[in-house]
Amino acid sequence: MGTSVQVKPLCGVYNENPLAYLVSVDGFNFLVDCGWNDHFDTSLLEPLSRVAPTVDAVLLSHSDTLHLGALPYAMKKLGLSAPVFATEPVYRLGLLTMYDQYLSRKQVSEFDLFTLDDIDSAFQNITRLTYSQNYHISGKGEGIVIAPHVAGHLLGGTVWKITKDGEDVIYAVDFNHRKERHLNGTVLESFVRPAVLITDAYNALNNQPSRRQRDQEFLDAIMKTLRADGNVLLPVDTAGRVLELILILEQFWEQHKLAYPIFFLTYVSSSTIDYVKSFLEWMSDSIAKSFEHTRDNAFLLRHVKLLINKSDLESVPDGPKVVLASMGSLEAGFSHDIFVEWVSDTKNLILFSERGQFGTLARMLQADPPPKAVKVTMSKRVPLVGEELAAYEEEQNRIKKEEALKASLIKEEESKASLRTELPVNDQMVLDANNTHSSSNAIGQRSEAFRDVLIDGFLPPSTSVAPMFPFYDCSSEWDDFGEVINPDDYVTKDVNMDQMLMPVDGDLAGKLDEGSVSLILDTTPSKVVSTELTVQVKCSLIYMDFEGRSDGRSIKSILAHVAPLKLVLVHGSAEATEHLKQHCLQHVCPHVYAPQIEETIDVTSDLCAYKVQLSEKLMSNVLFKKLGEYEIAWIDAEVGKTENGMLSLLPLSSPAPPHKTVLVGDIKMADFKQFLASKGVQVEFAGGALRCGEYVTLRKVGDASQKGGSAAIQQIILEGPLTEEYYKIREYLYSQFYAP
Amino acid sequence: MASTGQSLTSLKKREATTANNRDGDQLIITPLGAGNEVGRSCVYMSYKGKTVLFDCGIHPAYSGMAALPYFDEIDPSTIDVLLITHFHLDHAASLPYFLEKTTFKGRVFMTHATKAIYKLLLSDYVKVSKVSVEDMLFTEQDINNSMERIEVIDFHQTLEVNGIRFWCYTAGHVLGAAMFMVDIAGVRVLYTGDYSREEDRHLRAAELPQFSPDICIIESTYGVQLHQPRHIREKRFTDAIHSTVSQGGRVLIPAFALGRAQELLLILEEYWSNHRELENVPIYYASPLAKRCMAVYQTYINSMNERIRSQYANSNPFEFKHISPLKSIENFNDVGPSVVMASPGGLQSGLSRQLFDRWCSDKRNACVIPGYVVEGTPAKTIINEPKEVTLTNGLTAPLNMQVHYISFSAHADYAQTSTFLKELMPPNIILVHGEANEMGRLKQKLVSLFADRNTKIITPKNCQSVEMYFTSEKMAKTIGKLAEKVPEVGETVSGLLVKKGFTYQIMAPDDLRVFSQLSTANVTQRITIPYSGAFAVIKHRLKQIYESVESSTDEESGVPTLRVHGQVTVKQESENHISLHWTADPISDMVSDSIVALVLNANREMSKVVVESEPVVSEEEDARKAEKIVHALLVSLFGDVKFGENGKLVISVDGNIAHLDKQSGDVESENEGLKERVRMAFQRIRSAVRPIPLSA
């Protein structure tokens, strides 16, 4: 029997919500993708929370929020603890994307779903694979092999192939067959007839203009605005499609020697480009080739300036400029702020390069016609001043106090049995514990100073005989130079600071840009102030498809080529999903599924298979005929058993039973025409048939290309009067086939 | 008759294929270079008709054609895949020659970093050797052309070319160095190239492959020697340099431009930043090539170790503060102590040789040889500290400078090799890339190490082939309709055997299009024949020949039709024409041919419609005829066929005798091969002589 395969969508079916699907292969649960949207809507994760603890492995396909955004949260809160697999760029750029998301969110709200540490700890256990690396899963999933393959949408983007016993389950969402500036096209088409293909219907209804035309329109729109003294804002993702846009702009600026400044503004822009520079192996052949020849790294940017701080942008002299800023949804991040500033000036242009997520500001603006005015929330983190600061400090003090009290209580309890002389030592420890606590907060230090005074002394130390006020012997040692200073104390503190500074992944500390570091370290009490305002949308708004996904037409032809035995459709509007489902039912394969959320579908192949050994005796009698990359032969064999109980095929002892003749081969009329012509036969196409010589006609009915893939047996009709020519042509025709 | 002819040819072919199959199980490994020597690595391997060549280097001690591996031993056009492990000249430098000047038409693979450095390195090699060698193996143009043909492979990426599957592991030797694992029909061969299991300042240690190979082709450069621990070597290195420069001497480090040199520079840079007093002593790195390669080093940090990657996060560790580049000896202001690292490492020619000639007679100076030196190079000579050396201008000069030999070359030592092999447990080990003596000692030691395990250890010389036999079991997967139920022993399985690469599948013809990209076709034929006689005549005649002739009428036109042998439809199209209609297959084609002949005959003999009395052909006569034919055919196949007892035939071929029972088809013979052949031949003859069964 075939391998049992079940698919259960957890998020992102019949809509454009983030992607998360559970794929079970013989009881081994893969969570493929673990996405979240830019709103960080926890309700979307409910289905995931129900299955998270049962997941055995997580496969990530792309580095954007929609594909991996929920990973830190799921690891921290939902009990997801499985090993994670991704390519190196997905790991790196995914990490940066999450940093950017967090920092953008933190700037405008009391974001508490996850912290930077959660991001780090979720990412540090990712096993990094290279393209077409076969990774053999051990333990529970013994026998399963996973391999990432080029998807073409984002740098490092992955089509996952899960193989067990020769049966392939392929997960391919957001693939792009077109070769781009920085990426190669997907290799999805090289997989033929997988048992199950899981793909998306996101673009099923979209068709794209040619790349050249689109690029030209894109640059024209930007140049028009710049020449009219306007600014251009491109809301982009953190480290995904923006790379392609940067290359387009770089190249154009280089060719035309333009002086308009371009800025790439995210919290992690400089690290992004630094890392991208070292990912040449993952990029297109042309980039690799140009590096080999000239050692010019395509991402050594000459025109695009990297900014990590909005104040840097403000310090740039006025004048037309292009800004690429995250987030693409305009919900948060620098793009949001810049949008509010620029939206009411008619000269400016806001150019969307991707469809906004559903329900975001970007999506609203992409509506046709665009809204005249939109309501936006301007949020700002401001340091606390005056009364608020005092209140905050009081609150902090109270917390410290409680903590200290608790700590001392615990300590005292512990010291119950111990001698009174140990108290000072204990006290030291209490202090230490307190110290580490407060080091996370700058003002903690002060509360510590108050500590002794503030402790209310109505709790008797349990070791005392009679009730008494707590009294700690401050036994600091003195020498000739004053209090003895133990340098170690200070060293430890430094280390503490360092640890806090440095997220788990060591090398990131240096990579975090100053701005973000200041944000992490900025522990001055602050609050978020929000103001709602309505802005007039006066600037021009353009949407151009730079999403780097195959369009509807290509998806259909790729699916027809891949021709899976069973097809599962996910991610895409209800309309698109339904459309693609109907199309595929007709043209691709009879088993097309589009499950609802949390609906488990069984796509176990009904394929029967068993293994046999081919005995040497049998094989020595087999004559193979080569057909393309295949070799075929007809065998008649008797089943036997080998010593170790395997079935084996032996030659027949009696004459083989006759079998029906099969003609194997794929005949293309045009090719055959040329072949005949080369043999000196007059041929021409006439009325859908091939006229060979004077009287003989050759027709093909049920043409393979019309029926979508190799779904039908070819029917060829050869007609003609009894002539020598007839037999000659028949012979030629037979020569095109192999009849075992 | 036709079928007899076929069985004849197929018999012949069968013999040929049997022989082929025996050949196919033979795995041949031949070092074309680096067999019992160091340099010009090139190992040829062939199994099951697939051929792989590992590495394609030159011998640094020779020049011109003599430096090439023995390419004339092989036919380059038969090689499917060429795998290059790393960019060093002794592993990659004959590639442009091999690609451009031979008939090789296979595919070439190397890692990204190797490809990027390969071009720079070879262009440099061409320039440098222009000075010293006349007969150039290739030109700059050849290198550029070869770049077009080289394909890249990433570590762990699995590729398949022509049924050969291969992937590579980190080898640790230099940036981008790889160990290749090749899998042909389930037999795995690991070729380590140069490897090191020790992590250093910038490279990862060689990985231990996940699967054990059947054959491990491993380098034996250092034989049974043991390296000193890395920190001791580093200390000796820095101490030697420090003491020389503090005494006012100059230090020459002849090093190969790329690879280990980067490691040494990292060491020097670190030492200089920790020793303020040396600040005024300049370090020169005389290699414009290395400068050009820096971009490569800066880009492929993902091939390096965690240490360098975390440093890279802060600043580029390959941007040196204390080391400055030196273009040529003319630009070198030779005053006071200095440290110069210059290529080539063997002191054959170039800047390192010029400096050596200039400095060798001053005893304050020192030469630190930091890596493995190849036999036959001047560097090898001075390690033995001779009293005098011959300069490039032919004069002799006293060798007064101190010579230190501190090896930093990242080759595995005995400890690394033995643990590597112990963990990998390959049943066959082939040693290459080592001087004969070192290799012999290593072999001895390994033999005693693996004494209880029946491990074969082989040290072939150049062009000496190692032959091994692997009888791989061919496994097939029966799928689709054929596999609906698993057959019991004794049942028959008939279907298409489809082979792709080395995987076999058995399936029903209808399933072919489901499981492969092949498709099947039906050819329907219609032929019209002029015939103006009565349809009934044809019917009558057909009935005389064929057992099954059904008559009916065509539903559309109402004309009478005949269905002959259940396959061919004969239809009276008009007064003057009849048509035949059938689906092509050999039997139907034959039937239709006979009908055509019959119709044409009937046309000719139109006038006389005679009903002749059918001659009654007795069964006996039939059988006698058949027997005669069988005998004749057997004679044509085996020559000497006599009638024996009990109606048996005695067939003797080359002194072997087989008895054939004509009734049952049983064959008795001492010789199994003959028995099998006779049985098969008789079966085929019988199926040809017998009437065609109706149900086909």
Q: Give me the active site residues of B, please.
A: 411
Is A639 close to B584, i.e. CB distance below 8 A?
Answer: no
Query: What local confidence, expressed as pLDDT, does residue A709 receive?
Result: 42
Nearest to A716 among B157, B512, B522 (CB): B522
Residues B504 and A619: their CA atoms lie apart, in Å, by 11
Largest CA distance in chain B: 127
Residues A637 and A110: their CA atoms lie apart, in Å, by 73
Interface test with B, best of A168, A624, A663 (most B CBs within 10 A): A663
What are the Cα distances from residue B359, in Å, to A28, A404, B402? 69, 73, 10
Query: What local confidence, expressed as pLDDT, does residue A466 receive?
Result: 59
Same domain, A366 and A245: yes
Residues of B in contact with A134 (CB under 8 A): 158, 167
Indicate whether A676 belongs to any domain. Answer: yes
Is B523 close to A717, i.e. CB distance below 8 A?
Answer: yes
Indicate whether A662 belongs to any domain. Answer: no
Interchain contact A641–B (C-beta under 8 A): yes
Angle at B164 between CA B162 and CA B168, to 5 degrees: 130
- Is pLDDT above 60 for A3? yes
- Is pLDDT above 50 for A499? no
Name the pairing type of β-strands A526-536 and A540-543. Answer: unpaired
Number of C-beta neighbours around residue B567 at 10 A = 18
Is A166 close to B477, i.e. CB distance below 8 A?
Answer: yes
Interface test with B, best of A607, A610, A623, A643 (most B CBs within 10 A): A610
- Is pLDDT above 60 for B463? yes
| B158-187 residues touching A, CB cutoff 8 A | 158-159, 167
Instruction: Note whether A514 and A210 are within 8 A (CB).
Output: no
Indicate whether A574 belongs to any domain. Answer: yes
Is B302 close to A278, i.e. CB distance below 8 A?
Answer: yes
Side-chain half-sphere CA neighbours of B356 within 13 A: 32
Q: Which two tokens stand for residue A251?
A: 């190249």
Query: What local confidence, expressed as pLDDT, does residue B691 receive?
Result: 66
Residues A244-266, mean pLDDT to the nearest whole number: 92
Q: Greater confidence, B294 or A313?
A: A313
Query: Backbone phi, then psi, for A90, in 5-degree steps?
Result: -65, -40
Q: Minimal Cα–Cα distance from A257 to chain B, Å?
A: 25
Is B520 close to A664, i.e. CB distance below 8 A?
Answer: yes
CATH of the domain at A350: 3.40.50.10890
Same domain, A43 and A180: yes
Query: What local confidence, expressed as pLDDT, does residue B523 receive?
Result: 84
Q: Which two tokens stand for residue B628?
A: 């005669």
| B201-260 residues touching A, CB cutoff 8 A | 210
Residues B29-36, mean pLDDT to the nearest whole number: 93
Interface test with A, best of B479, B579, B686 (most A CBs within 10 A): B479
Write down the mean pLDDT value for chain B. 83
Highest mean pLDDT of the ranges A265-279, A281-295, B19-33, B640-654: A265-279
Please tell me the least confidently modeled range out of A208-212, A226-230, A257-261, A658-662: A658-662
Please tell me the least confidently modeled range out of A3-7, B3-7, B564-568: B3-7
Is A635 close to B167, i.e. CB distance below 8 A?
Answer: no
- Is pLDDT above 90 for A20? yes
Is A717 close to B525, i.e. CB distance below 8 A?
Answer: yes
pTM as predicted? 0.76
Q: Greater confidence, A595 or B629?
A: A595
Indicate whether A394 belongs to any domain. Answer: no
Q: Which two tokens stand for residue A625?
A: 């005929």
Is A638 close to B492, i.e. CB distance below 8 A?
Answer: yes
Instruction: Note whether B175 and B300 are within 8 A (CB).
Output: yes
Distance of alpha carbon B102 from its chain centroid, rounded? 17
Please tell me the least confidently modeled range out of A271-280, A569-578, B537-546: B537-546
Residues of A in contact with B110 (CB under 8 A): none
- pLDDT tens profile B122-146: 888 887 766 555 667 888 889 999 9
Nearest to A713 among B498, B504, B520 (CB): B520
Query: What local confidence, expressed as pLDDT, does residue B451 receive?
Result: 86
Residues spanned by the domain of A725: 669-737
Confidence of residue A393 (pLDDT cuts 50, 70, 90): confident
Confidence of residue B659 (pLDDT cuts 50, 70, 90): confident
Q: Which two tokens stand for residue A737?
A: 């086939």
Q: Minimal Cα–Cα distance from A506 to chain B, Å?
A: 7
Q: Greater confidence, A510 or A52?
A: A52
Same domain, A57 and A200: yes
Residues A729 and B381: their CA atoms lie apart, in Å, by 76
Using DSSP, state whether B266 is helix, strand or coil. Answer: helix
Confidence of residue A324 (pLDDT cuts 50, 70, 90): very high
Indicate whether A223 belongs to any domain. Answer: yes
Confidence of residue B367 (pLDDT cuts 50, 70, 90): very high
Residues A361 and A535: their CA atoms lie apart, in Å, by 12
Q: Among A674, A620, A688, which residue's Cα sits nearest to residue A650?
A: A620
Instruction: Note whether B299 and A276 are within 8 A (CB).
Output: no
Instruction: Note whether A94 and A60 are within 8 A (CB).
Output: yes
Residues B362 and B401: their CA atoms lie apart, in Å, by 6
| A17-36 residues touching B, CB cutoff 8 A | none
Q: Greater confidence, B645 or B169?
A: B169
Indicate whether A403 belongs to any domain. Answer: no
- pLDDT tens profile A400-449: 888 888 877 777 666 664 544 444 444 444 444 444 444 444 444 444 44
Highest mean pLDDT of the ranges A371-380, A557-566, B342-351, B543-552: A557-566
Q: Which residue matches tokens 């697999």?
A: A85
Q: Which DSSP string do the residues of B518-547 spell out, in sequence order?
A: --EEEEEEEEEEE--S-HHHHHHHHHHH-S
Residues of B in contact with A591 (CB under 8 A): none
Write down the mean pLDDT value for chain A. 81
Same domain, A313 and A376: yes
Interface test with A, best of B22, B156, B181, B308 (most A CBs within 10 A): B156
Query: Backbone phi, then psi, for A377, in 5-degree steps?
Result: -105, 120
Q: Among B456, B261, B226, B419, which residue's Cα sits nearest to residue B340?
A: B261
CATH of the domain at A732: 3.30.1370
Instruction: Note whether A704 and B513 are within 8 A (CB).
Output: no
Q: Which two tokens stand for residue B379?
A: 């560097």
Q: Helices A487-501 and A514-521: crossing angle, nearest 10°? A: 120
Query: What local confidence, expressed as pLDDT, does residue A84 receive?
Result: 95
Instruction: Cis check for the bond before A194: say yes or no (omega within 30 of 0).
Output: no
Residues A580 and B488: their CA atoms lie apart, in Å, by 44
By percentage, how much of chain A surpasses pLDDT 90?
31
Number of C-beta neighbours around residue A39 at 10 A = 15
Query: What local confidence, expressed as pLDDT, does residue B545 receive?
Result: 81
Nearest to B527 among A192, A288, A722 (CB): A722
CB proximity list for A635: less than 8 A, separation 6 or greater? A618, A622, A649, B493, B494, B495, B496, B497, B506
Number of C-beta neighbours around residue A642 at 10 A = 12
Interchain contact B483–A (C-beta under 8 A): yes
- Is pLDDT above 60 for B301? yes
Instruction: Note whether B515 and B480 are within 8 A (CB).
Output: yes
- A to B CB pairs, distance under 8 Å: 288
Same domain, A275 and A224: yes
Residues B440 and B602: their CA atoms lie apart, in Å, by 87
Instruction: Note whether B173 and B196 are within 8 A (CB).
Output: yes
- Is pLDDT above 80 for A456? no
Q: Greater confidence, A738 or B202?
A: B202
Nearest to B497 among A635, A657, A715 (CB): A635
CB proximity list for A336: less than 8 A, separation 6 or greater? A108, A327, A330, A361, A376
Residues A193 and A196: their CA atoms lie apart, in Å, by 8
Query: Backbone phi, then psi, for B63, in 5-degree steps?
Result: -135, 165
Please tell me the least confidently modeled range out of A221-235, A357-371, B65-79: A357-371
- Is pLDDT above 50 for B285? yes
Residues of A in contact with B312 (CB under 8 A): 278, 507
- Is pLDDT above 70 for A508? no
Angle at B110 between CA A298 and CA B85, to 5 degrees: 135
Task: Decide which of A543, A571, A586 is a domain's last residue.
Answer: A543
Using DSSP, state whether B382 is helix, strand or coil. Answer: helix
Residues B377-394, mean pLDDT to the nearest whole number: 86
Residues B357 and B398: their CA atoms lie apart, in Å, by 10
Number of domains composing chain A: 4
Name the pairing type of β-strands A683-686 and A663-664. Answer: unpaired
Number of C-beta neighbours around residue A191 at 10 A = 18
Residues A66 and A134: their CA atoms lie apart, in Å, by 26
Same domain, A366 and A266: yes
Interchain contact B691–A (C-beta under 8 A): no
- Is pLDDT above 50 for B395? yes
Same domain, A201 and A54: yes
Q: Among A589, A545, A582, which residue's Cα sits nearest to residue A567?
A: A589
Residues A203 and A550: their CA atoms lie apart, in Å, by 7
Confidence of residue A29 (pLDDT cuts 50, 70, 90): very high
Residues A531 and A380: their CA atoms lie apart, in Å, by 9
**E strand spans, A571-665:** 592-593, 601-602, 609-614, 625-627, 630-641, 647-651, 663-664
- Is pLDDT above 80 for A345? yes
Same domain, A534 and A572: no
Amino acid identity of residue A72, one-letter, is P
Same domain, A16 and A160: yes
Residues A230 and B292: their CA atoms lie apart, in Å, by 42
Nearest to A710 among B471, B477, B513 (CB): B513
Query: What local confidence, expressed as pLDDT, does residue A261 receive?
Result: 92
Indicate whether A427 belongs to any domain. Answer: no
Indicate whether A622 belongs to any domain. Answer: yes
What are the Cα distances from residue A364, in Å, to A25, A373, A376, A549? 40, 11, 12, 22
Instruction: Note whether A104 and A333 are within 8 A (CB).
Output: yes
Instruction: Cis check for the bond before B468: say yes or no (omega within 30 of 0).
Output: no
Is A664 close to B310, i.e. CB distance below 8 A?
Answer: no
Number of C-beta neighbours around residue B640 at 10 A = 12
Which residue(s) pair with A236 in the sheet? A326
- Is pLDDT above 90 for A72? yes
Helices (H), B485-585: 512-515, 535-545
Q: Greater confidence, A704 or B72?
A: B72
Using DSSP, state whether A40 is helix, strand or coil. Answer: coil
Highest mean pLDDT of the ranges A452-456, A488-492, B689-693: B689-693
Using DSSP, state whether A259 is helix, strand or coil. Answer: coil
Same domain, A47 and A114: yes
Confidence of residue A325 (pLDDT cuts 50, 70, 90): very high
Nearest to B310 among A507, A610, A718 (CB): A507
Residues A393 and A449: their CA atoms lie apart, in Å, by 14
Query: What local confidence, expressed as pLDDT, does residue B15 receive?
Result: 39
Highest mean pLDDT of the ranges A476-480, A568-572, B532-536: A568-572
Interchain contact B630–A (C-beta under 8 A): no
Helix (H) or strand (E) holding B388: strand B388-390
Same domain, A219 and A135: no
Provide the ipTM.
0.72
Instruction: Measure the CA dihedral A73/A76/A77/A80, to 10°.
Output: 90
Q: Minimal Cα–Cα distance from B93 to chain A, Å?
A: 17
Is residue B153 packed enough to be buried (19+ CB in 10 Å), middle (13-18) or exposed (0-12)?
A: buried
Amino acid identity of residue B689, one-letter, is V
Q: Minimal Cα–Cα distance from B494 to chain A, Å?
A: 4
Q: Which residue matches tokens 């093909």?
A: A700
Instruction: Note whether A283 and A290 are within 8 A (CB).
Output: no
- Is pLDDT above 50 for B560? yes
Q: Minimal Cα–Cα distance from B97 to chain A, Å?
A: 19
Helix (H) or strand (E) holding A175: none
CATH of the domain at A585: 3.60.15.10
Residues B438 and A440: their CA atoms lie apart, in Å, by 61
Confidence of residue A644 (pLDDT cuts 50, 70, 90): confident
CB proximity list for A586: less than 8 A, separation 6 or greater? A708
Interface test with A, best of B183, B296, B494 (most A CBs within 10 A): B494
Using DSSP, state whether B53 is helix, strand or coil. Answer: strand
- Is pLDDT above 50 for B24? yes
Confidence of residue A506 (pLDDT cuts 50, 70, 90): very low
By percentage, how much of chain A surpasses pLDDT 70?
82
Same domain, A309 and A366: yes
